[in-house]
Amino acid sequence: MIATLSRMWLTRSLKPFRFTNDYDRKLHYINSSNLGLYVHIPFCKSICNFCPYCKEIYTKEKCDRYIDSLIDEINYVCGDTKEKKKITSLYFGGGTPALAVDRLNDIIEVLNKYFEITDGIGVELHPENVCDSTLSILRKIGVTKISIGIQSFQDKFLDILGRGKFDYSNMLNSLKKYKFDTVSMDFIFALPDQTIDDLKKDIEMAFSNGANHIAVYPFIDFDFTKSNVKAMTKREKRKLLDEITLYCEKKGYHRDSIWTFAKEKNAKYSSMTRDNFLGFGCSATTVLDEQFKINTFSVEDYINRIADKDMATSLTIRFTKRQRMLYYLFWTAYTTRINKKNFESFFGVSLKRMYGFELLIGKMVGFFTEDDDEYKMTLKGAFYYHHYENYYTLAYIDKMWGIMRDVAFPEKIEL
């Protein structure tokens, strides 16, 4: 209800977000500004029951067939490119991309035919992957950022998440030997009985053992996952989020998004906060100036579509101008800042002209402050953004991914 009403208000329309199975055979990305790339590897050794992402159990045979299709998809989407396009960064996510570590370079090489990557390459890792052999390959193929899904260093929380105990000594030794520009570690907060002291221990453990960036995500209880973890109340979550933020700020860790903090200013890891991006692989999202499209969640159907020399697109939405603005503002606000000039150069109209009233109210209730260049979120604003994001995730992502996990190519979804 909240997500629907705010969508109507901010898009000035009753029109829902309408995704249909009608898709473009050619993607026009050549003139898209600030373009990033994302590649999805949907395989894991075992499945964590709290995790909503598109993945299945790894087998070498299926993973190899999948990577062959990925390479074909990239050639199919980008084959007409006349000259290399400059793009920001390339991120490999999953799933567990390191299960295909020997093939990542094949993917990078084919992308290098079409793009010039200016801000580096990132890979998501499971702690089990953080070993000498994998890190040395990643370094060799030009990976500059890694993000490790720790979730917690403490047995009791790993137990709650159903992950079981983990011995981190091997991982910590390898991190000393192999250096990356960004070493980010992911944690989940708002788990039952978790306190700020538990989180402080995890944060310090990360920063004193090779991480220069952390992501502290609130636990989200997706309807379609089989998790038995009970989510915290809104009040408890807010208290923890405020405590984490104040703690990190006091320690001098720079907040670079709602849930991420950097110990060194240039450490960055974010595959979502980019103006435009091309996604390859199952469940990968592509966002271009006027459209958002998402590939099928089914590995087998993905492979078949690509074998038919067709796009693996499952659903597409063609944004109205206001819908695109809302999407832009939502993800830009994730960085806790909205730059006025960037908005104007992206849309050709000033932010104040489009959302002057909302910005005024937001300032009056203390959600953000304004200077000549930007709007900056306050602690209160960050909490309410986080709260709204939770509604958005449950109202939109939960519903969409829930359907797409069951049906490879749904006819339409309205949100």
**Do the beta carbons of residue 99 and residue 48 sit within 8 Å?**
no
Return the H-helix or E-strand segment holding 57: strand 56-57
> Distance (Å, rounded) from C-alpha 232 to C-alpha 195?
11
How many degrees, rounded to 5, is the angle at CA 299 between CA 50 and CA 99? 65
With CB under 6 A as the contact rule, the residue among 58, 168, 217, 331 that binds ligand SAM is 217
210 binds, among ligand SF4, ligand SAM, none (CB under 5 to 8 A by kind): none
Structure tokens at 391: 């509604």
In the block, residue with structure tokens 């045979």: 61
Closest CA to 42 of 294, 272, 271, 282: 282
Q: Which is nearer to ligand SF4, 217 or 391 (CB)?
A: 217
Q: Which is nearer to ligand SF4, 130 or 325 (CB)?
A: 130
With CB under 6 A as the contact rule, the residue among 95, 97, 127, 381 that binds ligand SF4 is 95
Min dist CB 161 to ligand SAM, Å, is 9
Residue whose CB is nearest to ligand SAM in the complex, by number: 149
Q: Name the β-bridge partners of 213.
A: 184, 262
> Distance (Å, rounded) from C-alpha 204 to C-alpha 214?
10
Answer yes or no whether residue 56 interacts with ligand SAM by CB under 6 A: no
Backbone angles phi, psi at 134, to 5 degrees: -70, -45
Answer yes or no whether residue 415 interacts with ligand SF4 by CB under 6 A: no
186 binds, among ligand SAM, ligand SF4, none (CB under 5 to 8 A by kind): ligand SAM
With CB under 6 A as the contact rule, the residue among 24, 53, 68, 409 that binds ligand SAM is 53
**Do the beta carbons of residue 18 and residue 316 sit within 8 Å?**
no
With CB under 6 A as the contact rule, the residue among 39, 41, 44, 146 that binds ligand SF4 is 44
47 binds, among ligand SAM, ligand SF4, none (CB under 5 to 8 A by kind): ligand SF4
Answer yes or no whether residue 51 interacts with ligand SF4 by CB under 6 A: yes
Answer yes or no whether residue 50 interacts with ligand SAM by CB under 6 A: yes
Site string for ligand SAM, 108-147 (x = CB under 6 A): ----------------x-x---------------------
Return the H-helix or E-strand segment holding 140: helix 132-140
With CB under 6 A as the contact rule, the residue among 11, 144, 151, 245 that binds ligand SAM is 151
Q: Which amino acid is at 327?
A: Y
Residues of this chain, 148-207, that bind ligand SF4 according to CB under 6 A: 149
Q: Name the β-bridge partners of 93.
A: 40
> Distance (Å, rounded) from C-alpha 237 to C-alpha 229?
15
> Distance (Å, rounded) from C-alpha 44 to C-alpha 124?
12
375 binds, among ligand SF4, ligand SAM, none (CB under 5 to 8 A by kind): none
Min dist CB 149 to ligand SF4, Å, is 5
Q: What is the DSSP string of 227-256?
A: --PPPPPHHHHHHHHHHHHHHHHHTT-EEE
Answer yes or no whether residue 96 interacts with ligand SAM by CB under 6 A: yes
> Distance (Å, rounded) from C-alpha 182 to C-alpha 220?
26
Structure tokens at 94: 């999953």
Structure tokens at 47: 């499945």
Q: Which amino acid is at 235?
A: R
Min dist CB 84 to ligand SAM, Å, is 29
Interacting span for ligand SF4 (CB under 6 A) from 43-51, 65-73, 288-296, 335-343 = 43-51
Min dist CB 52 to ligand SAM, Å, is 6
Q: Which residues bind ligand SAM (CB under 6 A)?
A: 50-53, 93-94, 96, 124, 126, 149, 151, 186, 188, 217, 219-220, 222
Q: Which residues bind ligand SF4 (CB under 6 A)?
A: 44, 47-48, 51, 53, 55, 94-96, 126, 149
